[in-house]
Structure 1
Amino acid sequence: MPTPEFIVALREKIGHDPLWLPGVTAVVLNADRQILLVRRKDNGRWTLVTGCLDPGEQPAIGALREVREETGVTAVAVRVLRIQSLAPSAYPNGDQVQFMDVAFLCHAVEGEAAVNDDESSEVGWFSAEDLPPLTQRELACIADAYADRAEAWFAS
């Protein structure tokens, strides 16, 4: 998916300066409690489904939209897993960003997992015991998804 128009418009004004953005992460589990992952085209890395919210979009709705857009799977949001500021990063073109991320536990309800956009090269379901390499943050989100607690994690 191309850069959202609202970000393109902001970049025309601020150039490559740091931009604070609202992000979402979806830990999607199927009926067998497998985890839905996507392999990014840009770096070949497997990741949880993530994305940037559109202006005014509610976080859970945005997370479910990203799941559907990237994988073709329809899911429901169950609970907030964690809320955190991610580390600042930069894109190859020099744009600097930092995301405030809300991670959700989601349950798949219909649809076959498949590459459904131009951002991913593969989509697949993985057992917790057979995950490809993931970041520490992604592994923490997955651990939170399997934990039997209602509280969301946040830094304090």
Structure 2
Amino acid sequence: MATPDFIKAIRASAGHQLLLLPGITAVVLDDDDRVLLMRRADDGRWALIGGIAEPGEQPAVTAVREVYEETAVECVAERIVMVEAQPEPVTYPNGDRCQYMDIVFRCRATGGEARVNDDEALEVGWLPVDALPRLHESQLFRIKQARTDEPTWFATMP
């Protein structure tokens, strides 16, 4: 994931100390109930589309922007399906520490052809939910929540 310029500016004075950042994840579904995934360039794993909200940017706008930037798929954010603080901070190879407050949106594809659209993905594609590649358990839970009509999920215990 490319580091946004505003984070680079904060890091110039904050160093590697822990930052709480606004993470956005998009679970993009199409009319055939397939989910849009990308194989990440940084670790080679399949994952949902996501990123960091820019200062002043509305979370739903971030979801739509990130999906287009990474996959060339146009979509609309339909609803928030989940809000969760990442349980443990991430420490990056350069020593930077971050913890993400993730807002997960269910999005509906409206146009575009899925393709690698930036340097963050090795490949992208529409995958049937019953034939997904190996995904982290948290990613599978996000997909499950997006496919239901349950109320927004949020953690109630620390």
Please indicate, yes or no, whether the TM-score normalized by the shorter chain is above 0.5: yes
Cα deviation digits, residues 108-135 of structure 1 (max 9, x gap): 0000000000010000111111111111
Residue 133 of structure 1 aligns with which residue? 134
* 1:22 lines up with 2:22 in the alignment: yes
2:33 aligns to what SS in structure 1? Answer: coil
**Equivalent pairs: percent with the same residue?**
52
Residue 106 of structure 2 aligns with which residue? 105
Q: Map 1:69-148 to 2 at 5 A.
A: 69-86=69-86, 87-148=88-149
Residue identity opposite 1:155 in structure 2: A
Q: Distance in 2 between matches of 1:48 and 1:118?
A: 16
Structure 1's consecutive aligned runs of 4 or more residues displaced over 3 angstroms after TM superposition are none
Q: Distance in 2 between matches of 1:26 and 1:108?
A: 11
Q: Distance in 2 between matches of 1:45 and 1:90?
A: 18
Q: Which runs of 5+ in 2 are unaligned?
A: none
If the length of structure 1 is used for normalisation, what is the TM-score? 0.97
In the TM superposition, residue 90 of structure 1 has moved relative to its aligned partner by 1.1
Residue 152 of structure 1 aligns with which residue? 152
CA RMSD after TM alignment:
0.9
Q: Distance in 1 between matches of 2:2 and 2:28?
A: 23
In the TM superposition, residue 94 of structure 1 has moved relative to its aligned partner by 0.8
Cα deviation digits, residues 56-86 of structure 1 (max 9, x gap): 1100100100000000000001110100001
In the TM superposition, residue 92 of structure 1 has moved relative to its aligned partner by 0.9
If the length of structure 2 is used for normalisation, what is the TM-score? 0.96
In the TM superposition, residue 2 of structure 1 has moved relative to its aligned partner by 3.2
